[in-house]
């Protein structure tokens, strides 16, 4: 994973709450067996509407999505993260995230910045006044800046450290492999086995 410190670019206001992962990417696109090439699938149903924000020429080549509360709820599909990333987004700002979505984002280098609901409203107002304005999400300082407004955001320290260092989770865990092996020696025999006994 690439190291991530600051995300800078066009900010898109997604003025909706409860954006579930079915909206971020509909199920029909989950049949693919690749991990890239999902940019066409992002918000597929909503993009059919010419008035949808991503169809606005002011918001082309965006990097930061600023959404209402409960962004990324529902299905565990990591494809939602891949679609946002493939479209060019490097950070999502919201007052609340779906747990699984937020975890998936951290694994794929998509920064999820949690801010106060009033701050999101203020950012939307600023963008409405100046469509196409840039935002900057600073992972070192834990701040989001849109125009003249700078606010703090929340992210857990461990995810922040991994993103800043660009660390791979599996590699980190495998450093603990002897402890996994030791744990396995003490597992009770009643615990489930999927393969028939030898």
Partner 1 sequence: MGKTLAEKVWDDHVVAKGSDGAPDLLYIDLHLVHEVTSPQAFDGLRMAGRPVRRPDLTIATEDHNTPTLNITQQIADPVSRTQIETLRKNCAEFGIRLHPLGDKDQGIVHVVGPQLGLTMPGITVVCGDSHTSTHGAFGAMAFGIGTSEVEHVLATQTLPLKPFKTMAITVEGELRDGVTAKDVILAVIAKIGTGGGQGYVLEYRGSTIRSLSMEGRMTICNMSIEAGARAGMVAPDQTTYDYLEGRPHAPKGVDWDAAVAYWNTLATDDDAVFDAEVFLDAGELEPFVTWGTNPGQGVLLSDSIPDPASFADPNEEASARRALEYMDLAAGTRMKDIRVDAVFMGSCTNSRIEDLRAFASVIKGKKKADGVRVMVVPGSARVRLEAEAEGIDKIVEEFGAEWRFAGCSMCLGMNPDQLAPGERCASTSNRNFEGRQGKGGRTHLVSPLVAAATAVRGTLSGPWDLDSSADLVAEGA
Region class of 4: left (phi > 0), else alpha (psi between -120 and 50), else beta: beta
179 touches partner 1 by CB under 8 A: yes
28 touches partner 1 by CB under 8 A: yes
DSSP letter string, 33-89: --SS--GGGTTHHHHTSTTSGGGSGGGSSEEEEEE-SSBTBS---THHHHHHHHHT-
Minimum distance of partner 1 from residue 175's CB (angstroms): 10
Minimum distance of partner 1 from residue 70's CB (angstroms): 4
Figure out which of the listed residues 58, 125, 167, 174 binds partner 1, where binding follows CB under 8 A.
174
Figure out which of the listed residues 99, 116, 130, 152 binds partner 1, where binding follows CB under 8 A.
99
Nearby residues of 59 by Cβ (< 8 Å), 6 or more positions away: 10, 12, 53, 131, 132
Q: Helices (H), strands (E): how many in the chain?
A: 8, 7
Binding mask 110-129 for partner 1 (x = CB under 8 A): -------x------------
Q: Give the residue with the Cβ less far from partner 1, 9 or 74.
A: 74
Region class of 125: left (phi > 0), else alpha (psi between -120 and 50), else beta: alpha
Figure out which of the listed residues 7, 10, 12, 23 binds partner 1, where binding follows CB under 8 A.
23
158 touches partner 1 by CB under 8 A: yes
11 and 64 Cβ atoms separated by less than 8 Å: yes
Footprint of partner 1 (CB under 8 A): 15-18, 20, 22-23, 26-28, 30-35, 45, 68-70, 73-79, 81, 96-100, 103-104, 107-108, 117, 156-158, 169-170, 172-174, 176-177, 179-180, 183-184, 187-195
């Amino acid at each position: 994973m690439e190291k991530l410190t600051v995300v800078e670019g066009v900010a898109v206001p997604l003025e909706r709450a409860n954006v579930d992962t079915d909206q971020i990417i509909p199920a029909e696109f989950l049949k693919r067996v690749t991990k890239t090439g999902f940019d066409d699938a992002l918000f597929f149903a909503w993009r059919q509407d010419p008035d949808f924000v991503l169809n606005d020429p002011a918001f082309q080549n965006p990097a930061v999505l600023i959404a209402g509360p409960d962004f990324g709820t529902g299905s565990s599909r990591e494809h939602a993260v891949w679609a946002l990333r493939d479209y060019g987004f490097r950070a999502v700002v919201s007052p609340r995230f779906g747990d699984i979505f937020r975890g998936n984002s951290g694994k794929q280098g998509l920064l999820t910045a949690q801010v106060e609901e009033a701050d999101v409203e203020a950012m939307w107002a600023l963008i409405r006044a100046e469509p196409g304005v840039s935002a900057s999400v600073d992972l070192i300082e834990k701040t989001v800046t849109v125009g003249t407004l700078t606010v703090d955001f929340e992210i857990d320290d461990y995810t922040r450290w991994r993103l800043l260092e660009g660390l791979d989770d599996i590699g980190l865990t495998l450093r603990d492999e002897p402890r996994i092996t030791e744990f396995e020696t003490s597992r009770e025999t009643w615990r489930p086995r999927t393969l028939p006994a030898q």
